[in-house]
Amino acid sequence: MKDKILIVEDDINTLNGLAEILEDENFEVVKARNAREAAAEFRNNHFNVVLLDYLLPDKDGMELSREFLEEQPEIRIIMLTAFGTVKNAVNAMKLGIYDYLTKPINLDELLIIIRRAIQEQKLIIENIDLKSKILETYRFENIIGVSGKMQEVFKKIVKVANSDATILLRGESGTGKELIARAIHYQSPRKNGPLIEINCASIPETLLESELFGHEKGAFTGAYKMKKGKFELANNGTLFLDEISEIPISLQAKLLRVLQERRFTRVGGVDNIEVNVRLIAATNADLEKIMAEGLFREDLYYRLNVISIFVPPLRERREDIGPLTDYFIQKYAQKNNRNIKGISQEAREILMNHDWPGNVRELENAIESAVVMAEGEYIQPEDLPAYLQMTTQKPSPFQALLQNQNNMSYKEKLEAFEREIIRQALLESNGNKTQAAKKLGFTPRTLRNKVKKYNL
Ligand SMILES: Nc1ncnc2c1ncn2[C@@H]1O[C@H](COP(=O)(O)OP(=O)(O)OP(=O)(O)O)[C@@H](O)[C@H]1O
Ligand SMILES: [Mg+2]
């Protein structure tokens, strides 16, 4: 397909001359003699470049450019004018006009500019396409992750979602395992089936079996009627077993059997119940260690560990802290109906420097509280939870001195301390030496000498 150029020029000779030359150069050309015609053509075609006369009978060329650029920011406009003043050129460039040529037009120059304009434009458009494609593939609702490590996780989610394979999600507490389990379900062909979640740690051991597999009426004291377990409820969908390491060893065999045979019996029952369930398990524990201690069956471990996804701790993907911060500010400003627009650079730096042992959950809680506490439109360091402000406070000059690495002698250190004490006193007295001397218990003369000695 030929690249397309719109020429807007009221002088008919110039218009036809330019059109002929550009057609010879293998461009597709459309001609317009005034702003009205140009606007109509612009709307009905897709041009790469517009050659625009600055002086048009019905409209200022700048004004028309503004309209074009608003509609199509990637359009390349080259302005032609007889009055090539620097001022015009500057204005034109500010507006986003690509280049500027004065009449009489140098044709070689014009062709070079047009070709360069089109080349650059194509590169930009390709880039935009590429970016939006990446975003489409590896973006999940509510999961923020711009870091390479999270992009890898997203890639893996896309890859595994279509299969029925069991998945083991690993990572520290608060890294987003649950969120990822949901993403896998909603990306999978089972998305219209149920997603059932159960946290093995939050259910007493004695009840866990019945929670997972259900029970028959009269199976135990209190079992007044039959109850379906999570495996049955998750039929044709996904079962998310959180904190899998907490499943007592006595139950692990039964779990293994469901995974292998896709059937089980309810507690107190004899009938085999068949289910079609995809299992996603998650743990923040060291399964290998628990296995070595004999508390986790090896066969179950291998059965679960077919595909494992490791969600890295937040401190190992610091690039995500900024985007997560912005996301949570928006989320909690909306939720709490607060007009918070963002976060100050200083406060952001505190967040960037913290190690986040509680990972994303900790960051989320910190932002929620900051959004509620903030007085202004931007979150300030003092709005953040106090423990965060502490960890990143700069060491005091005294601490810095004590930690100094430059092999100062005892005497040098003492002097450095003395200098610092005097400097502080002067600061606190706003430079008033009499007052500072009083504070320090010096005579004015001693202070004067010290100030001189220490170059204060
Ligand atoms: N990438 C992320 N984008 C947005 N929110 C996130 C992200 N990761 C985690 N969160 C949020 O952080 C909180 C903790 O995440 P989640 O419950 O998924 O962690 P977890 O790994 O399951 O932790 P645990 O092991 O303690 O159960 C949730 O509120 C979740 O929405
Ligand atoms: Mg969880």
The reply to whether 48 falls in a domain is yes
Q: Give me ligand 2 centre to Cα 385, in Å.
A: 23
State which ligand 1 atom lies nearest to the alpha carbon of 364.
Answer: 12
CA dihedral 283, 286, 292, 295 (to 10 degrees): -40
Residues 212 and 276 in one domain: yes
The reply to whether 33 falls in a domain is yes
Ligand nearest to the CA of 182: 1
- What are the tens digits of pLDDT across the range 421-433? 888 888 888 778 8
State which ligand 1 atom lies nearest to the alpha carbon of 143.
Answer: 3
Give the total number of structural domains in the chain: 4
The reply to whether 407 falls in a domain is yes
Residues 153 and 128 in one domain: no
Q: Report the range of poorest mean pLDDT among 127-131, 211-215, 430-434.
A: 127-131
Given a contact cutoff of 8 angstroms between Cβ atoms, the answer to whether 49 and 6 are in contact is yes
* Residue 412 phi, psi (nearest 5): -60, -40
Residues 33 and 71 in one domain: yes
Residues 296 and 164 in one domain: yes
Mean pLDDT of 165-191: 93
Residues 164 and 107 in one domain: no
| Cα(146)–Cα(215) distance, integer angstroms | 45
CA-closest residue to ligand 1 atom 16: 176
Given a contact cutoff of 8 angstroms between Cβ atoms, the answer to whether 178 and 242 are in contact is yes
> Which pair of tokens denotes residue 12?
């008919």
Q: Which of 70, 105, 132 is the last residue of a domain?
A: 132
Mean pLDDT of 335-345: 91
Q: Single out the residue of 212, 283, 188 nearest to residue 243, CA to CA.
A: 283
Residues 386 and 403 in one domain: no
DSSP string, 47-67: -SEEEEESB-SSSBHHHHHHH
- What are the tens digits of pLDDT across the range 46-91? 999 999 998 888 988 888 999 998 888 889 999 887 765 555 666 6
Q: Which domain holds residue 384?
A: 325-353+365-391
Quote the Cα angle for 136-333-173, to 5°: 65
State which ligand 1 atom lies nearest to the alpha carbon of 175.
Answer: 21
Q: What CATH number does the domain containing 430 carry?
A: 1.10.10
> Which pair of tokens denotes residue 456?
């204060």
Residues 205 and 301 in one domain: yes
State which ligand 1 atom lies nearest to the alpha carbon of 150.
Answer: 1
The reply to whether 429 falls in a domain is yes
Task: Output the ligand 1 site: residues, CB below 6 A.
Answer: 142-145, 171, 173-179, 284, 324, 360-361, 364
The reply to whether 69 falls in a domain is yes
pLDDT > 90? residue 1: no
CA-closest residue to ligand 1 atom 26: 173
Q: Give me ligand 2 centre to Cα 165, in Å.
A: 20
Residues 179 and 228 in one domain: yes
The reply to whether 143 falls in a domain is no
Q: Give me ligand 2 centre to Cα 300, in Å.
A: 21
Q: Single out the residue of 228, 142, 153, 144 nearest to residue 186, CA to CA.
A: 142
State which ligand 1 atom lies nearest to the alpha carbon of 169.
Answer: 21
Q: Give me ligand 2 centre to Cα 240, in Å.
A: 10
Q: What CATH number does the domain containing 333 carry?
A: 1.10.8.60
Given a contact cutoff of 8 angstroms between Cβ atoms, the answer to whether 38 and 64 are in contact is yes
pTM confidence score: 0.60
Q: What CATH number does the domain containing 169 carry?
A: 3.40.50.300
pLDDT > 60? residue 346: yes
Residues 330 and 298 in one domain: no
| Cα(370)–Cα(382) distance, integer angstroms | 9
Residues 154 and 296 in one domain: yes
| Cα(428)–Cα(409) distance, integer angstroms | 29
Positive or negative: CA dihedral 7, 11, 17, 20: positive
Query: Would you tell me the crossing angle of helices 410-428 and 444-453 to the nearest 10 degrees?
Result: 120
DSSP 3-state of 19: helix
Q: Single out the residue of 185, 178, 277, 200 nearest to residue 231, CA to CA.
A: 277
Res 197: pLDDT:
93
Residues 292 and 158 in one domain: yes
- What are the tens digits of pLDDT across the range 232-264? 999 999 999 999 999 999 999 999 999 999 999
| Cα(420)–Cα(408) distance, integer angstroms | 15
Q: What CATH number does the domain containing 57 carry?
A: 3.40.50.2300
CA-closest residue to ligand 1 atom 7: 176
Q: Single out the residue of 223, 359, 243 nearest to residue 304, CA to CA.
A: 243
* Residue 12 phi, psi (nearest 5): -60, -35
